[in-house]
Amino acid sequence: MTTSDPGTDQRVFRPTVLDLGDVLLRPWGRALDVPGGIAPALTAAAADPAVARWSPLSAAGPVVVDTYLGRCEEHWAAGTAASFAVIDAADGSLCGNAYLGWTNRDDGVAMIGYWLLAAARGRGLATRATTAVTRWAVDHADVRRIELYHAVANEDSCRVATRAGFPYEGTLRGSYTYGGGVYVDEHLHARLASDPFTD
Ligand SMILES: CC(C)(COP(=O)(O)OP(=O)(O)OC[C@H]1O[C@@H](n2cnc3c(N)ncnc32)[C@H](O)[C@@H]1OP(=O)(O)O)[C@@H](O)C(=O)NCCC(=O)NCCS
């Protein structure tokens, strides 16, 4: 196989579990076991007003849930995106999601995203999950630059980005639609593999 970048062969996301102590980051997939079943848990997450407003995960029925989980499995199998469920280590319940996928693999550029269920917010889980996935991707998949986009009005996400060490780089005008055909402005934050981790 020929590649345009000597680093590309290393640029593969391999399924793994990241243990943060009180929470585990587990690869999303149909086999993921949470109390009450993964499909109802994911459907409930998609129906959360803030997740529905700001995340690509839309309110969905079982068929779409199956499609979503299948897509996560395909990305893991291909090494193209790492989708982690944030799982409470004590009771196995679903807390949220952390996603990292290539946007330009040859250049080592990836994008990160996240959401939390309402009950899991306000205790730093999104910041910690973002930091852990970033560190893992830098250490194990030769990620060079990770970008983080959020709607300008999504101040909670802006704070996660800043706390996780992704400085603000600029505002993109009309760059993304969260549905309804309305394109909103977004903040671009990013960090480089060479940026030091402070924790
Ligand atoms: C964006 C989102 C994940 C942020 O959740 P969050 O709980 O506010 O973020 P964190 O998990 O990092 O927690 C940070 C909050 O917990 C508090 N906190 C408590 N203990 C903490 C700790 N040990 N470490 C860090 N923060 C802690 C912080 O003060 C902060 O509160 P503040 O923002 O009022 O100051 C959540 O609002 C969400 O899921 N929104 C819908 C989906 C979404 O917007 N996704 C992003 C799309 S770009």
The DSSP element (H or E) to which 168 belongs, if any, is strand 168-177
Test site for ligand 1: of 121, 150, 184, most ligand atoms within 8 A of the Cβ: 121
- Residue-level pLDDT at 136: 98
CA of 121 to the centre of ligand 1 (A): 5
The verdict on residue 68 lying in a domain is yes
Question: For the chain, which ranges sit under pLDDT 70?
Answer: 1-8, 59-63, 199
In a domain, 62, yes or no: yes
Query: Is residue 176 assigned to a domain?
Result: no
Residue 78 placed within a domain: yes
pLDDT given for residue 183 in this prediction: 94
Q: Is residue 163 part of a domain?
A: no
pLDDT value of position 10: 92
> Ligand 1 test: best mutation among 100, 111, 160, most atoms within 8 Å of CB?
160
Evaluate whether residue 35 is within a structural domain.
yes
> How far does the centroid of ligand 1 lie from the alpha carbon of residue 8, in Å?
33
Instruction: Give the angle 160-46-152 at the CA atoms, nearest 5°.
Output: 35
Domains of the chain: total: 1
pTM of the complete model: 0.94
Which pLDDT score, from 0 to 100, does residue 1 have? 33
- Domain containing 135 — which CATH number? 3.40.630.30
pLDDT score, position 7: 53
Residue 61 pLDDT: 61
Range of the domain at 115: 8-144
Cα atoms in the Cβ-side hemisphere of radius 13 Å centred on 47: 10
Q: How far is Cα 148 from Cα 168, in angstroms, rounded to an integer?
A: 9
What token pair was written down for 76? 């893991």
The pLDDT tens digits of the residues spanning 141-162 come to 999 999 999 999 999 999 999 9
Does residue 1 form part of some domain?
no
Q: Residues 135, 166, 45, CA angle at the centre, nearest 5°?
A: 80
Residue 88: DSSP 8-state: E
CA of 129 from ligand 1 middle (Å) equals 11
User: Domain for residue 18, yes or no?
Assistant: yes
pLDDT at 161: 98
C-alpha 88, offset from chain centre: 17
Which of the listed residues 150, 159, 177, 184 should we mutate to test ligand 1's pocket, taking the one with most ligand atoms within 8 A of CB?
159
